[in-house]
Every structure is written in C-alpha cells, then in structure tokens.
C-alpha cells in the first residue's frame, strides 16, 4: 500500500493543528516532520516540542532528522510520540547502532540518503531498518526541483532488499508532485513525501487521489 506523507515544513506555522487536520481529512497516511539543525543542513526548522503536539493530531509522525549527532535526540523524538525516526547515513559514524537505538525506543527505524550517497551503505544493515528514505533534492529546503539521477537509487534499494529476502518502506522526499510521482512509484517507492506541491495544491484531496489512482494503475 502506498503511503502519502505531507511535509509540515510547507504548512502555515501559525495554524499547525488546522494544517495537519486539513491533510488528514484529505486522506494522507503519515505526517512527515522535518527536523533541521542549521548544521547538517543550512536551515533550522522545529524540534521535539512541536513534534509532541503534532503527534496528538492523530496521524503517525515520521521524524526526518537532518541533524548532526542524531543519536542524541532519538529518545526525545520517541518520547514525543513519533512512529518513525529516520537518521541520515551521512550524519552518524555508527549507523547500525543508531538504528538499534531507534527500535529499542519502540519506533520504526529509517535511514536517509543524500542525493550523492550510494545505496551500498545500506547493504550491511539490511534487516536493521524499516524504512529507507531516498532524498531526491539536497536536504534543507522545500520547494526544490527533483534531481532525476536519484531515481535509479530507488530501484537499486528495492533490488538489494529483494535479493536479501527483506522488506522495507522506500520513502522518497523532495520535489514530489503529480508529475514526478509516477516514475518514483514505478521505481519502487512506497511512501511519498510531498511538501510544497501538496500544501500548495488548490485541492489536496484531488492531488492525493490522482497519485493513488496512478499507483493502482502501476500495480496492474
């Protein structure tokens, strides 16, 4: 089943609760929550306090930690009620340990890869993560254009998982819209993050329905 995840980064911050409910009513599955520290990425966003409030809105929260030393904050985001916690492979020297820490905290463990990072870094942790997040833009900002060279990474990860007899969600983040979604789903993506395109859509439900219909068509 395809999961669609709006990125709260693109919401109106003065009315976050309303912005989350608007997406829940439109039919999304998960709330994507971008955490930026001004160090791993140039931008700063929101922390565990806002995540805790967001988690009360009823959607599972998918915390995408774009921060250095992510291990330091795993416990805090787990306590905030996040269901998925994703760390960047580039942000930790001990990816295997960080993934174990996430699962020990009771959450689903994710690994994110920057556009220039090889999917090979997942080979020795297959089975230790529940989700691989393929960044299709350089992390730090919403509203960027998808980098086409990243798309083949989705299929490479799906192949690697299949060959090892493992399964995981493949999430794609960056420049997702109704035009780019079909190729991402064809390549094997099972969770799509959409920020500016979804929050900016005149009809969020129509946006979601279009992508789901396309996914059903691909599965035929």
Minimum distance of Zn ion from residue 80's CB (angstroms): 16
Distances from the Cα of 92 to the Cα of 96, 160, 202, angstroms: 9, 22, 39
- The residue among 13, 4, 41, 55 whose CA lies nearest residue 173 is 4
37 as an active site residue: the answer is: no
- Residue 109 DSSP class: E
Q: State which of residues 23, 35, 173, 175 lies at the interface with Zn ion (CB under 5 A).
A: 173
Minimum distance of Zn ion from residue 135's CB (angstroms): 8
- The residue among 63, 113, 57 whose CA lies nearest residue 86 is 63
Site string for ligand DX5, 138-167 (x = CB under 6 A): -xxxxxx-----------------------
Q: How many CB atoms lie within 10 A of CB 131?
A: 20
CA 55 to the chain's CA centroid: 16
The stretch near Zn ion (CB under 5 A) out of 51-59, 81-89, 119-127, 167-175 is 167-175
70 interacts with ligand DX5 by CB under 6 A: no
The total number of residues shown for the chain amounts to 220
Site string for ligand DX5, 168-187 (x = CB under 6 A): -----xxxx-----------
- Contact residues for ligand DX5, defined by CB under 6 A: 7, 9-10, 32, 34, 64, 137, 139-144, 173-176, 193-197
């Amino acid at each position: 089943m395809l999961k669609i995840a709006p990125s709260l980064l693109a919401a109106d911050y003065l009315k976050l609760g309303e912005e989350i409910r608007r997406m829940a009513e439109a039919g999304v599955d998960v709330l994507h929550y971008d955490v930026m520290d001004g160090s791993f990425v140039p931008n700063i966003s929101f922390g565990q306090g806002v995540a805790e409030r967001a988690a009360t809105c009823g959607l599972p929260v998918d915390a995408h930690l774009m921060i250095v030393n992510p291990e330091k904050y795993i416990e805090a985001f787990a306590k905030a009620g996040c269901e998925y916690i994703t760390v960047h492979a580039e942000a930790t020297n001990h990816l295997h340990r960080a993934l174990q820490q996430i699962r020990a905290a009771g959450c689903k463990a994710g690994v994110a890869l920057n556009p220039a990072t090889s999917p090979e870094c997942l080979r020795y942790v297959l089975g230790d993560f529940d989700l691989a997040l393929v960044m299709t833009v350089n992390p730090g900002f919403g509203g960027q254009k998808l980098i086409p060279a990243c798309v083949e990474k989705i299929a490479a990860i799906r192949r690697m998982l299949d060959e090892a007899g493992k399964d995981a969600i493949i999430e794609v983040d960056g420049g997702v819209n109704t035009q780019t979604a079909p190729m991402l789903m064809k390549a094997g993506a099972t969770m799509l993050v959409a920020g500016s395109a979804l929050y900016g859509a005149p009809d969020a439900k129509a946006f979601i329905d279009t992508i789901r219909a396309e996914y059903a068509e691909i599965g035929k």
